[in-house]
Amino acid sequence: MKIKAALTTYTAVVLAWIGVILTLMANFFCTFTVQDMSANITDEIQQNTTTIPIGFYYAGVWNYKNYNTVFTQNGDTVYVNTFATCSLYPEGTEVDTKWKTSQAFTIISAVIAVITALLMTFKAFSASAEGCTQAFAGALMLTSICQGLSLIFLSSNACASRSVDLNAGINTTTSNSPFRTEGTLSTCKLSSGGIMAATALCVWFFAAVFAAMSATAKDGVSEKDRRGDVESGVNNESAEEKTMGKEEIMEKAPETET
């Protein structure tokens, strides 16, 4: 019974730390979702529109993937290097209620996750080697729920199909180009960050299950030990009574012979 309690405790601790890693990477990295980006080029003379795929737009709950291009020249050769970085959303970005709700739950889940994992580790590997309690199981289940609610981001305005201005930096008053360019973003799909969030949700759930099993097994061991102590005490009392009875008989035996 004690082996079962220890095994479920260590399993819950390992799952909790896996959940912490997945939660932090999912909630605060810029690849929670991905959208297809395309450019609609309209020939105003011929009155026809051509759609050209541009690439992918990655976004997170708190930031998005930004691409920086660096040009270097060596003689007559020009090298172009593009670097991807996570950047905060620019000021003025419209954040609706669902988006704000998702941001709140990413913080709540991360805070509860780290605190619970630390306390569970301390309890599991302390000198007293105490196992998980029902409180830990409840905290892990709460983390799973909060992590799941962060997926509300998928229904926010950040994931809606929308138009993007691709004419930034073009002086329309001096440009005589007959072409008008408009970018379009498709609706969101889960990217690596969103997949990690969904995986973290499952990991936290199973961690809560193992923590509850550990608490149940530990209570069973305590109850068995308590019963063993009671039975041991009763047996000791019976043994003492039998010993006292034998002593009384031994004392009375010589008197009978006389």
Q: Which residue has the higher pLDDT, 69 or 122?
A: 122
Helix (H) or strand (E) holding 44: none
Per-residue pLDDT tens over the stretch 58-104: 999 999 888 776 767 677 676 767 677 888 998 888 899 999 999 99
Per-residue pLDDT tens over the stretch 180-236: 667 788 888 999 999 999 999 999 999 999 999 887 876 554 444 445 444 455 455
pLDDT category of residue 134 using cuts at 50, 70 and 90: confident
How high does pLDDT run on average in the chain?
Answer: 78
For 193-221, b/e burial (b = at least 16 CB within 10 A) is: bbebbbbbbebbbbbbbbbbbbbbbbeee
Share above pLDDT 90 across residues of the chain, in percent, rounded to a whole number? 39
* CATH class of segment(s) 2-168+178-238: mainly alpha
CA distance 135 to 130: 13
Up-side HSE of residue 58: CA atoms within 13 Å toward CB?
A: 17
For residue 83, give the nearest of 102, 66, 62, 103 by alpha carbon.
Answer: 66
8 Å CB contact between 141 and 208: yes
Domain boundaries, given as residue ranges, for the chain: 2-168+178-238
For residue 38, give the nearest of 46, 26, 24, 50 by alpha carbon.
Answer: 50
| C-alpha pair distances (Å), 140 with each of 134, 156, 206 | 10, 26, 9
The predicted model scores a pTM of 0.72
